[in-house]
Chains A and B, each alone.
Chain A
Amino acid sequence: MTDEDLFQRFRKGDLAAFQDLYARYRKSLYLYLLRSSPTEAEADDLYQEAWSRVIHAKERFSGGSFKAWLFRIARNLQIDSFRRQRLQLVPDSAVPAELSDPGPTPDEISHADDCAERLKVGLQRLPQEQREAFLLKEESGLTLGQIAEMLDVGRETIKSRMRYALKRLRQMLEDCL
């Protein structure tokens, strides 16, 4: 059964359908928020709030991809959270990459015990838009076209962000790959 079928059943009052849907995206949504939030506590709050929106705003779902809708809700919540914290998101195009993102420091890299930990640190060091593109691709499984539509940007823009993100991560994890 597709995500959309399960969600339609949940809209009609089928709790089991929601439980199935929740099981499918429980981990991926949480990891998306965890990797893109400054703290685990904030990730927990956003995670709960995102599912709460899905539960209560289910009538607003106008079809299409449930997965894209779910991750869009989570992303919008995160943007609101950033705004509340007065963290201004600066587009990549406005600031040279070298200045906006100096990359992981040697200390950070050397303190990472293994490659997985180094990857986590590397993700934290990525510019927000590159990290967002990478995480959406990895966690949601959406195509670049779906991500572009979700973020309301062109497909080439997403490809560019992904390209930069992968390039930086490869540089940081050179000896792990």
Chain B
Amino acid sequence: MTDQQNKSEVGEDPAISHLYRATRIEEPDAALDVKILAEAKAVTHHQRRRWLLPLSSAAVVLLGVTLTLKLMDQAPRLPQSIDDFNYEQPAESRAIQRAEKKQAQPAPAMMMESMSAPAKEHKDKLKLQKAAPRTSAPAGGSLQGLGQMDASEAFESNQQDLPAVEIMDDPAEWLAHIQMVLDRGERNRAVQELKAFIATYPEYPLPESLQRPDLD
């Protein structure tokens, strides 16, 4: 077996390979090169755009969500119901509404007839003061229960639960009357009138005899 035959056995023949390489002169046409490279370029360009689109979309969505959340945080809270709206009203406004409501309600005839103009004016003023922060009532200093009770509430309570009290124009005379009722032993009646008095004349000082704790 010759050397060439041995090489052929393993699939090699350097002489033929050398001769074959001499035939390798042809090349693909330049137009083919251009087409193929252009195709590759188009694919890579498209590939970049394919990544760019989801990326830009995600960025837009993220920006939108962020802006929405920020605007929601900054916007004033809107009332979600009528109750919410009423709850948000200032205290002064509510006090005025309540005063107007009270004025619209018909007062007992006897009260209206007997109440003098200064007394009525004072009563309205008291109602308007309801919404304002309370200070200790000067007239009810020692009458703990009465003194700490809202004047208008006491007045209204009297109107509802007790017989009508005649409001007198002269506070001194009214106090004397109350003292007389108390002396007669009509304690409940005296307390009722005293509450009405304090509600009507909250600034008027009470005599010591009517400042007893047992009148509470």
Q: Do A and B bind each other?
A: yes
Q: Enumerate chain A residues within 8 angstroms of B93, measured Cβ to Cβ.
A: none
Contact B19 A115 (CB under 8 A): yes
Q: Enumerate chain B residues within 8 angstroms of A158, measured Cβ to Cβ.
A: 11
> How big is chain B's contact interface, by range?
20 to 34
Q: Indicate if A67 sits at the interface (CB-CB under 8 A).
A: no
Q: Indicate if B33 sits at the interface (CB-CB under 8 A).
A: yes
A174 to B32, CA, bound (A): 37
Contact with B along A114-140 (1 / 0, CB 8 A): 011101100000000000010001100
Q: Enumerate chain A residues within 8 angstroms of B21, measured Cβ to Cβ.
A: 138
The majority secondary structure among interface residues of chain A is: helix
Q: Which of B19, B20, B32 contacts A47 (CB 8 A)?
A: B32
A44 to B19, CA, bound (A): 24
B contacts, CB < 8 Å to A: 4, 7-13, 15-17, 19-24, 26-29, 32-33, 35-37, 39-41, 43-44, 47-48, 51
The 25 listed contacts between A and B (C-beta, < 8 Å) are: A13-B44, A13-B48, A14-B44, A15-B40, A15-B41, A18-B37, A18-B40, A22-B37, A22-B40, A27-B27, A30-B26, A30-B27, A30-B28, A47-B28, A117-B23, A119-B20, A137-B11, A138-B20, A158-B11, A159-B10, A166-B16, A169-B13, A169-B16, A170-B4, A177-B15
